[in-house]
Amino acid sequence: MSAQLRMPLFAALALLLAAAGGADDASPRCASTRFRIDTSFDSGAFDKCTVRRDGTFEITIRPEDRKVVVEQPWFAFRVSVLRPGELKVQLRIPDGYARYWPKLSSNGTDWTRAADTAVTISAAKKTMDIALTLDDGPVWIAAQELLPGSWYDDWLAELANDDELSVTVIGQSVEGRPISLLKTGNKAETVILLGRQHPAEIPGAMALRDFLATLLADTELARQFRARFNLLIIPLLNPDGVANGHWRHNSGRTDLNRDWGQFTQPETQAVAKLLTSVDALQMRPRLMLDFHATNLTRSLLFYTQTADELTDPAEFDMHWFAAVRERLPGFEFEHRPGPSDENPNTKGYFFRRYGIPAFTYELGDEADRAELHATTPVLAEEMMRALLRAD
């Protein structure tokens, strides 16, 4: 199915009206005699675009609201080629710094990292110059690969064919987008996976998909695991942020990963309600993994409980990581224990509520994608082995 067919009706209408010249296109865009730049697609975003006298595009990116405190400068725009030639774009980041290396696509689906020679970051990291010779278009240029709502729709539709899995909607975002839950069975023990609280954290989304595929695989280990544990997975907790190309927040101007406990937002409230029913059905949670990405030199980092914070299963992190290190001797990842008391993030909340091992599973922003796809299944397999050994 084409992306256009899946577009919400209002977006399709807006495009039709814009094409007919009948309405203002709300998305910012600008054009030179050679190129036209726009953000009229899911996850497309910048604040302002102007064209300098020499034809250079000057694009300013800013966070979605004034409350964003973490610098996570998202950008995604599409370049249409009117006349072949050299495209020059200067990205200006007044509220942050050049954090993401640009990714390029000719179809919005398949991506490559921009060549080293195509990108220059200023010493203060406040501007990023991108130069590309374009013969034809369009070309998408984005902070990270785009994994928009339609990517999740396709994935969930595929998973819905699995007899063991059901897909349900447990709530709505601020803007009314569904919060979907994938679940298996009704066993006495449950593993919970959460994804995309932070819209820009694409490698975390990639890892969650690979991780889950390993848990759902037709292997002896995975079958044994699913015979004992339910899976509850919410792959896209912040669909508004993803659709609107936010840096970090939902459409309620809130960092969802600081809303656990207060539950002021419909997205986190949906999970709180789910947990109430998990408790009522006595589906005892045993482990929670919350997938993110961050600015790392290594490709992977885990935030866990401290050694003083006793979990059940006990020392699960140590058992899991030791097994992973044995199987992947050259693969370095970091383990950062941190206290959970008072912390309004997912990790702190699940530990306080259930006393279970609760992890923030952080990929590096620029983690090698091939390595990510190769190592994640091993992490998933050793997680299953470690949890199967728990009483």
Site stretch for Zn ion (CB under 5 A), options 91-99, 266-274, 288-296, 350-358: 288-296
Closer CB to Zn ion, residue 64 or residue 201? 201
Site stretch for Zn ion (CB under 5 A), options 149-157, 229-237, 287-295, 348-356: 287-295
369-388 and 220-228 are packed helices; what angle lies between their axes, rounded to 10 degrees? 50
CB of 365 to Zn ion, least distance (A): 10
CB of 302 to Zn ion, least distance (A): 13
Closer CB to Zn ion, residue 32 or residue 238? 238
Yes or no: say if 257 and 197 are a contact pair by the CB < 8 Å rule: yes
Closer CB to Zn ion, residue 69 or residue 318? 69
Closer CB to Zn ion, residue 62 or residue 347? 347
Yes or no: say if 211 and 380 are a contact pair by the CB < 8 Å rule: yes
CB of 257 to Zn ion, least distance (A): 6
CB of 231 to Zn ion, least distance (A): 22
The residues, any chain, with a CB within 8 Å of residue 71's CB and separated by 6 or more, are: 95, 96, 97, 99, 247
Q: State the amino acid at position 279 in one-letter form.
A: D
Closer CB to Zn ion, residue 178 or residue 195? 195
Closer CB to Zn ion, residue 138 or residue 241? 241
CB of 242 to Zn ion, least distance (A): 13
CB of 218 to Zn ion, least distance (A): 32
CB of 201 to Zn ion, least distance (A): 5
Binding status of residue 258 toward Zn ion by CB under 5 A = no
Which of 346, 276, 272 is closest to 305 using CA atoms? 346
DSSP character for 262?
T
Query: Torsion angle of alpha carbons 372, 374, 377, 383, nearest 10°?
Result: -70
Give the interface size with Zn ion as a residue count (CB under 5 A).
3
C-beta neighbour count of 7 within 10 angstroms: 17
Closest residue (Cβ) to Zn ion?
Answer: 292
For 71, 238, 319, 383, the CA distances from 390, given in Å and listed in that order, are: 39, 32, 11, 11
Binding status of residue 347 toward Zn ion by CB under 5 A = no
Closer CB to Zn ion, residue 72 or residue 375? 72
**Where is 263: in which H helix or E strand?**
none
For 10, 120, 140, the CA distances from 73, given in Å and listed in that order, are: 27, 16, 17
**Where is 172: in which H helix or E strand?**
strand 165-172
Q: Bridge-partner residues for 131, per DSSP? A: 88
CB of 47 to Zn ion, least distance (A): 22
Binding status of residue 292 toward Zn ion by CB under 5 A = yes
Cis peptide before 239 (omega within 30 of 0): no
The residues, any chain, with a CB within 8 Å of residue 282's CB and separated by 6 or more, are: 188
- Interface of this chain with Zn ion, residues 187 to 216, rule: CB under 5 A: 198, 201
Which of 103, 97, 53, 96 is closest to 78 using CA atoms? 103
Site stretch for Zn ion (CB under 5 A), options 152-160, 285-293, 333-341, 379-387: 285-293
Closer CB to Zn ion, residue 72 or residue 190? 72
Spell out, one character per residue from 42 to 71, where the chain touches Zn ion: x when CB under 5 A holds, - when not.
------------------------------
CB of 255 to Zn ion, least distance (A): 9
Closer CB to Zn ion, residue 198 or residue 319? 198
CB of 292 to Zn ion, least distance (A): 3
Site stretch for Zn ion (CB under 5 A), options 109-117, 125-133, 286-294, 316-324: 286-294
Closer CB to Zn ion, residue 234 or residue 283? 234
Rounded Cα–Cα distance for residues 37 and 88 (Å): 12
Query: Torsion angle of alpha carbons 256, 259, 265, 266, nearest 10°?
Result: 80
Q: How many residues does the chain have?
A: 391
Q: Which residues bind Zn ion (CB under 5 A)?
A: 198, 201, 292
